[in-house]
Structure 1
Amino acid sequence: MAHLEIHNLVQRYGAHVVVQDVSFQVETGHIACLLGPSGCGKTTLLRCIAGFEEVAGGEVRLDGVSVSRPGFRLPPERRKIGMVFQDYALFPHLTVDQNVAFGLGQASAAEKQARVEHLLALVGLQGQGYKYPHELSGGQQQRVALARALAPRPQLILLDEPFSNLDVDLRERLSLEVRDILKEEGCTAILVTHDQHEAFAMADEIGIVAEGRIQQWDSPYNLYHQPANRFVADFIGQGVLVPGRVIGEHQVRIDLGTLNSVSPVECSKGCGTCNGARAEHQCQVDVLLRPDDVVHDDASSTRARVLNKAFRGADILYTLELTGGTRVLSLVPSHHNHALGEEIGIRLDVDHVVAFRSHQPADLPASRIPNLAR
């Protein structure tokens, strides 16, 4: 059953539309994520769900009950929603125990203590309840903030960039721990972030947001391997769009060879069938190649020149240039340490063919071709 339903939501500030006709739903017990660049509207969406803002159009429903629509907004405190903020928002004059117990309201002292002890054990802070927030690390403070949000057993947890103040290693580790905690509590949750690593680590499903719209709502796997448009292809993971020519309904040719697609390759508008078409009439497409699609192979006759390299410990990410000038990325085990300017053998190993029509008009920017991975 869907715990949260968003129907055609619109939000604007004056004449500026921030959220445009957004619809999605989150099943009970699932963790969803709104992922996108700064200023795309994802935090505004979260605030509308929380009830902090009126909506200009559409509707927000919790367990089938309308809580926001034009002219009506159920107050945040009546929505049974917990919030975890970017800056933790802990009360500095209260101990950890007192912070976690703050939202327990009319519960007895014994019930409060039992709930606090359970949650502190759950978030790995057992025995730390006597401390004050300033005596804790950033990661510990974030755990306290999560425990406080979970304490009153909310129906929905909203997390607004909760790990952005932490270093990269702690951010990735804590995101996995928070997922386990939310699953153990059986919570429905929505995470807002601009960091795809956090999103992939935590979320069952992700909505890619750009210019106030959901570009694709899908699993992390499908977002990476089956992006719905150029923006999603560019924003998720790493990759390069290379020119190609459709030579059959399920085949496209690029400089590195011919790719076979399980599904039909998207052609230019008005193309008709590409089967048997003369070369000058065959459809031009842009094909997405991920770094793992281009495999280093010393025995291959296809050669590429090393333009740049980024050492990543176990792997090196190479930027390579083919004879015809096409540039691709390749992720190679780091014991293959090649010099700039050196030619190496490569071959394709593409499981998912992703192609977009060339010169396709779009409201969003097309994918960039980097000289090195972002």
Structure 2
Amino acid sequence: MSKKDKSSFSNGNGQQLSWGAPGTAGATIAAGLVFENVSHDYDGVSSVKEMNLAIAPGEILCLLGHSGCGKTTLMRIAAGVERQNRGKVLINGRVVADEEVFLPPEKRGVGLMFQDYALFPHMSILSNVMFGLTNLPKKEAQTAAMGALGRVGLTDYADDYPHALSGGEQQRVALARALVPRPGILLMDEPFSGLDKRLRDSVRDETLAVIRETRATCIIVTHDPEEAMRMGDKIALMRRGRLVQHGTAADLYKCPADLFAARFFSELNQLEGQVTSAGVETPVGVLAASGLTAGETVDVCVRPQGVLVNEAGLCGVRGRVRDKRFVGEVDLLTIVIEGTDQSLQARVRAGSPWETGMDVAVTTDPKDVLVFPRHQSQI
């Protein structure tokens, strides 16, 4: 197979990308990273507010949030590309940025991988990867760069230029360049957003495997909750410059801090509820809840997969199927609840017997029910 044919093979035509042999990425000494009361603003407009966050050595953290929430700014502060207005940044317990100290990026042991890959178009692939190895003799730098290209499966492209490579291959070059100096911390700004969906999963999985091999501490900026759950040991969810919640994917999904966090990880049916001594009264019945005060108005959220549909006349509130849509592995039902204008979205197994116009009985699965005080829901 010629080099040209090989490039075509890995351009995302349903084929598995060819990466280098596992276990060949050089290991590094992971560094811990801590933000203490970090705040930053651009011309008086806050971008990061009182951020307190610790990333353990070797941990992969996904910074998650909508565009403009401060994710990239926080990453740039960690790298030393931006200087915070207040607070401290520490690497391995050493202050690298505060009111008096500011260590430049090249002295922090940090690797950067940008969203657009930032490859130099006039330089060969090998020269791009060697770019940060200025402290090594040329021959050693070439050897290290070729090793990094080998791990990402691009040794044969060392003499080519970035324009000759596909998006997935350029992403791998950028990864090799970021990792070849063996940084203690690797920072990645939405590294997969420019890839075709057919490529994204395989490139993401292989990238994660390489990062695990190097053992570097890693921060990945993303706006995709599924990506954050798949890649991160921990997730830090941000909103308007503030940290909303920090924990494992299971923590944030099962026990979201507020309605904003809950909505970020799943679709929700939102209902108004009234707390009584028996529980929370809602259009779909009385639901269990703890730690709430009788008489309090709350927002009750039910995930679509937690809406359980049964034959009419069985246990549950009465409803009618207003619409049914086939969406692959599931059927998406819209059910109108008797006695209210409220409708529910339900996800049921594809090929379900429910059809438009049928009367049904509706109950809920407690594990997919979330209750939030009304003051937490004003977002």
TM-score by length of 1: 0.85
1:284 matched to which residue of 2? 297
Q: Which amino acid aligns with 2:57?
A: T
1:106 matched to which residue of 2? 135
Deviation per residue, 1:6-63 (Å, 9 max, x gap): 0111101222121111111101111111111111111111111111112111111111
Q: Highest relative contact order (Cα 8 Å, sep 6+), 1 or 2?
A: 2
Q: Tell me if 1:334 matches 2:347.
A: no
Question: In the aligned structure 1, how far is the partner of 2:336 from the partner of 2:153?
Answer: 49
Question: In the aligned structure 2, how far is the partner of 1:340 from the partner of 1:189?
Answer: 49
Q: Tell me if 1:187 matches 2:200.
A: no
Question: Structure 2 matches for 1:74-93, cutoff 5 A?
Answer: 74-93=103-122
2:32 match: secondary structure: strand
Question: In the aligned structure 1, how far is the partner of 2:125 from the partner of 2:132?
Answer: 13
Q: Tell me if 1:169 matches 2:182.
A: no
Count of aligned residue pairs for this structure pair? 347
1:306 matched to which residue of 2? 321
Cα displacement (A) at 1:208: 1.1
Q: Tell me if 1:127 matches 2:156.
A: yes
Question: Structure 2 matches for 1:250-261, cutoff 5 A?
Answer: 251-261=279-289
Question: In the aligned structure 2, how far is the partner of 1:3 from the partner of 1:287?
Answer: 39
| Equivalent residues of 2:303, 2:368 under 8 A apart | no
Q: Which amino acid aligns with 1:293?
A: G
Cα displacement (A) at 1:339: 4.6
What percentage of residue pairs aligned between the two structures are identical?
38
Q: Which amino acid aligns with 2:58?
A: G
Range moving further from structure 2, 307-316 or 221-230: 307-316
Question: In the aligned structure 2, how far is the partner of 1:126 from the partner of 1:248?
Answer: 69
Cα displacement (A) at 1:110: 4.6
Cα displacement (A) at 1:243: 2.1
1:210 matched to which residue of 2? 239
Question: In the aligned structure 2, how far is the partner of 1:8 from the partner of 1:319?
Answer: 46
Q: Which amino acid aligns with 1:75?
A: P
Runs of 5+ consecutive residues of structure 1 not aligned to the other structure = 275-281, 366-374
Range moving further from structure 2, 173-182 or 298-307: 298-307
Question: In the aligned structure 1, how far is the partner of 2:325 from the partner of 2:131?
Answer: 48
| CA distance 1:102–1:285, shift in 2 (3 Å) | same
Q: Tell me if 1:239 matches 2:268.
A: yes
Question: In the aligned structure 1, how far is the partner of 2:137 from the partner of 2:360?
Answer: 70
Runs of 5+ consecutive residues of structure 2 not aligned to the other structure = 1-29
Counterpart among 334, 348, 373 of residue 364 in structure 2: 348
Q: Tell me if 1:3 matches 2:19.
A: no
Deviation per residue, 1:111-151 (Å, 9 max, x gap): 33443333223223343323321111111111110110000
Q: Which amino acid aligns with 2:287?
A: L
Range moving further from structure 2, 128-137 or 222-231: 128-137
Cα displacement (A) at 1:248: 4.3
| Equivalent residues of 1:35, 1:196 under 8 A apart | yes
Question: In the aligned structure 1, how far is the partner of 2:321 from the partner of 2:87?
Answer: 52
| CA distance 1:169–1:306, shift in 2 (3 Å) | farther
Question: In the aligned structure 2, how far is the partner of 1:304 from the partner of 1:246?
Answer: 23
1:52 matched to which residue of 2? 81
Cα displacement (A) at 1:204: 1.1
